[in-house]
Amino acid sequence: MPSIFSYQSAEVDWCEGNFERSTVIAEYYNTVNGTALFSFLLLAPLNFLLRASARTELCCHKLSLLLAGIFSMYFHMTLSYVGQLLDELSILWTLAVAYSFWYPKVYFPRCIKNRKHFFWLSGVTTVVSTFMSFIKPAFNAYVLNCIAFHLLYLTWCELKKCDDKRVHRMAAAMVVWWVLAIASWLSDRWLCWLWQAVSFPYFHSFWHVLIAVSLLYCFPLVIYFDVNYEMPSFKPKLGYWPSDSWPVVVPYIALEEPHKQC
């Protein structure tokens, strides 16, 4: 029986051919084009622009994204069983951190009275889910992708309360990039025979790029709604760096503190 750390011991093997461009890296483009590279090239400027309003949750989520990116690259480099679990579980715990810090209180279950109780609920749920992930690791990725539907539902609920056209535009951009990302992911899983036939089995590497861009729009939206709930004395405003007119931009949140009269 091969070691769980051995190359190609994972239950999942993506469409890209193995060891075609390197004797060390199993899936070259999936590794090089991994989530870590694009998450930090794209999201680091966002965190930098938010430094004035940075809170503990931003630092925690940045760390969890770093680990998710590193584990994703390790998995695609080795296709090991351990790499597969680390990749999937790091995404699960990244989602848990995001839910714990940013899930709006108005959507808490009735039995949850405050954020501390919700932390415990999120933690217990994540621990249980972690152990269940070992039952059928190949099924984990489908479950993790399904969580996006709940996030989209929450976004839709919040958009119904918001009249800001910039917010709606950013949400639309996020959904478009997410649809392209999930289409690439499913295409790599279900139509691999077709892409191998035309010698273009690289749609999972596209997934890495597209989902990172989708997150680039998702984070400002989440923070925008969070500021409205948690810091009502501030007025969040969506902006684009370096300019709205540029074809490629980085969205960010600017906080405008209202004038206080003596």
Q: How far apart are CA 145 and CA 123, in angstroms?
A: 20
Q: Any known ligand binding at 47? A: no
Reported residue count of the chain is 262
Q: How far apart are CA 216 and CA 219, in angstroms?
A: 6
Q: Any known ligand binding at 61? A: no
Q: Any known ligand binding at 150? A: no
Q: Any known ligand binding at 256? A: no
What does each C-alpha distance from 174 to 68, 164, 210 come to in angstroms? 20, 16, 10
Q: Any known ligand binding at 204? A: yes
Report the binding-site residues. Answer: 13-14, 16, 18, 27, 76, 204, 208
Report the binding-site residues for Ca(2+). Answer: 13-14, 16, 18, 27
Report the binding-site residues for Zn(2+). Answer: 76, 204, 208
